Amino acid sequence: MSRGRHLDLSPPSDLRLRLHFTFTSPRVQCVQADCASVEDHREECTSSSSVMAAISNSNTDFACKLFRTLSQKDPSGNIFVSPLSISSALAMVYLGAKGDTATQMAKLEKKLTRANLEEWTKRDMLSLLDDPEVHVHLPKFKLEEDYKLNDPLAKLGMTYVFWAGKADLSGMNGDKKLFLSRVAHKAFVEVNEVGTEAAAATATDDSDMDLSMVSVEHFTADHPFLFFIRHNKTKSILFLGSLNTQMSCQTAPMKVLVTGGSGLVGKAIQHVVKEEGGAREGEEWIFLSSKDANLMIKEETQAVFEKHRPTHVIHLAAMVGGLFKNMRCNLDFWRNNVYINDNVLQAAHEVDVVKVVSCLSTCIFPDKTTYPIDETMIHNGPPHESNFGYAYAKRMIDVYNRAHLEQHGKYYTAVIPTNVFGPHDNFSIEDGHVLPGLIHKAYIAQKEGKPLVVWGSGTPRRQFINSLDLARLFLWVLRDYPEVDPIILSVGEEDEVTIKEAADAVVQGLNFKGEVVFDTSKADGQFKKTASNAKLRRYLPDFTFTPFNQALKETCDWFVANYDSARK
C-alpha cells in the first residue's frame, strides 16, 4: 500500500516506498451499529462469525475495488467501508439470484482475488523488515461514513439486480418481481487513548483483531494515510479506509441546472429553493429558460452545459400542451421532445453530470391496462392515441436511462407526476391543461356574465398534484432517491377527482356565480389514469400533500392577481 490517495494493488517490490506494518493490540470492538454494548452482542455474534468470516474471506478484494471507485469519485474525501458487511449482504442476495442476475454476480465474484492483500498482511512479513520496531504517532480521530452503493456497484458490473423486471431473485421467495432498490452502507471507526472501536451494519466476532497501519520507521499521521482492521483467525479484512482530513468527509455542494426553469414546475422549484430554504449551504442553482438556449439544437445545448458544467440536472424542458393541441400535433410533439431529451441527456453525459432527474407524465402508460398503474407497467402497451407522440417521446427517456446505466454506470432517473397545477401554469384555454384552462374560462365567464363551458362529459377522473408539493419531492429525488427506475409522484388513489368535481372546485375558488355547462361534443380523452403512489409511500410514508381545494384556491388567487402577466 502507498500513502497516496488511491489504493495500489501492485506488489510491494513495485513501490518506491518501503512498506512497514505495525501490529497494535488495543481494544478493538466490532459491533452492530445499534447494539447497546459489546458484551450484550458478543454471544449473538459468535454463532454467525464463522459464516460471515468465510464470506468476507472470498470477497475482500471486492472492497478494494469499491474503495478505489469511491476514492476516484472523491479523491480528497475520507473513506471508510466494511468488506465484511458489504460482501455478506451481497452473498445473501447471490444465494437467491437466478438466471442473468446470478450470471452477472458470478462474473463479478470471479474477478475478486485477495492474494495481494493476504500476502502483504501476514505476520511473517515482519521478518522482512529492517527494524520491526516502528514508532507510530497516530492522532485521535473518528470517521463516520455512509454510502449509497448502487452507482459504485453498477460500475463494478452489477446492474441487473437493481432493475425491476430485469432482476431475478426468485431464489429468495419465488417472486420474480423482487429486486434491490438500493444498497446502503454505513460504518464508523474511532481511535482514542483507549484503543480502536469500529462498527458497521453487519456484526462479526470481536476477538483476535489487529489494527494494521501502513508506515515507515517513524510514521506520523499528519498526512493522508490508509488503514485496515483485520481478523487474524480468518485473515479477513473487516474494515478498510483512508483518512484525508481530521474531519468527516462532507459531500461537495451540488451545482444544479434546471432546464425548463421558467415553466410551472421550474418556478415551483425556484420558490422552494429560494423562498422556503430548500437549497443547502454552498449549493448553486441555475434555472434555464428558452432565452438561454434552444434545447432542440444540439450545439446550443452543448454550449450551455459547457458554460455551467453542472454536477446535477433537473430536466423539465419539453414541448407541452393540452388534450386538443396534442391531438392536432402528435408528430411535432414526438420530434421536438425527442430532440430536446437526447440533446440534454447527452450533454449531461459529456460534462460528467452525476445525476439527472427527468420529468415524465402519466400519459406514457398504456391505454389498455389494469388499475392502479405503477412504475413497472410503462412499456406494457401503446399509450392513448390522443397524445401518442408526446407519450412515446417521454417513454424513451426511461429507455435512455436504463441503457445509460448499463453502458456508463450512471444513475440517471425520472419521475412521473400526475396532473400538475399551480402558479405560473399555462392558462391557455385552447392549449393548456384542464385545470388552468378551466380557471381562465371561469375568470372570463365571470367578467362577461356568461356560462362556464366545460369541454367533455365531466366524467373522466384525474389525480392532481400541487406544483409546490411536486417541487419538494423533486429535491428529495435529486438528493436521496437511489434508483434508475422512475417513481410516480402523486397523491393517493383515494384523492382522484372527476373533471366535474374539478370544475366545481374552480367555481368555488373563483366564487363563480354563473351556470356551468358541459359540452359533450368535445372529446373526453383517456377516461382515467389512476396511479399508485405505493412506491413513494415506501420511501416517504409521512409526506403531506396540500389539500386539493386549498391548493386550487391559491392557484386561482395567483391567477387573478397576476392576470396581465400570466401565460395564457
Residues with catalytic annotation? 390
Residues 6+ apart with CB under 8 A from 148: 182, 183, 184, 482
Residues 6+ apart with CB under 8 A from 309: 255, 351
Residue 411 to residue 414: CA distance in whole angstroms: 10
Are residues 65 and 244 in contact, defined by beta-carbon separation less than 8 angstroms?
Answer: no
Q: Are strands 413-417 and 487-489 parallel, antiparallel or unpaired?
A: parallel
C-alpha cell belonging to residue 57: 474471506
Are residues 188 and 212 in contact, defined by beta-carbon separation less than 8 angstroms?
Answer: no
Residues 6+ apart with CB under 8 A from 282: 253
Closest CA to 99 of 171, 172, 183, 150: 171
Residue 362 per-residue DSSP state: G
Residues 6+ apart with CB under 8 A from 228: 121, 212, 237, 238, 239, 240, 241
From residue 466, how far is each of 26, 91, 265, 268 by CA, in Å? Answer: 57, 43, 9, 9
Residues 6+ apart with CB under 8 A from 206: 28, 29, 30, 31, 38, 42, 45
Which residues pair with residue 209 across a beta bridge? 231
Beta strands in 176-253 (DSSP E): 184-191, 195-200, 209-215, 218-220, 225-231, 236-243
C-alpha cell belonging to residue 546: 396540500
Closest CA to 364 of 417, 291, 286: 417
How many Å separate Cα 32 from the centre of its chain?
Answer: 26
Say if residue 42 is exposed, middle or buried (CB neighbours under 10 Å; 0-12, 13-18, 19+). middle
Which residues pair with residue 230 across a beta bridge? 210, 237
Residue 408 to residue 356: CA distance in whole angstroms: 14
The DSSP element (H or E) to which 508 belongs, if any, is helix 499-510
Question: Which segments of 97-186 does DSSP mark as H helices, in order?
Answer: 99-110, 115-120, 150-155, 170-173
Residue 357 to residue 50: CA distance in whole angstroms: 43
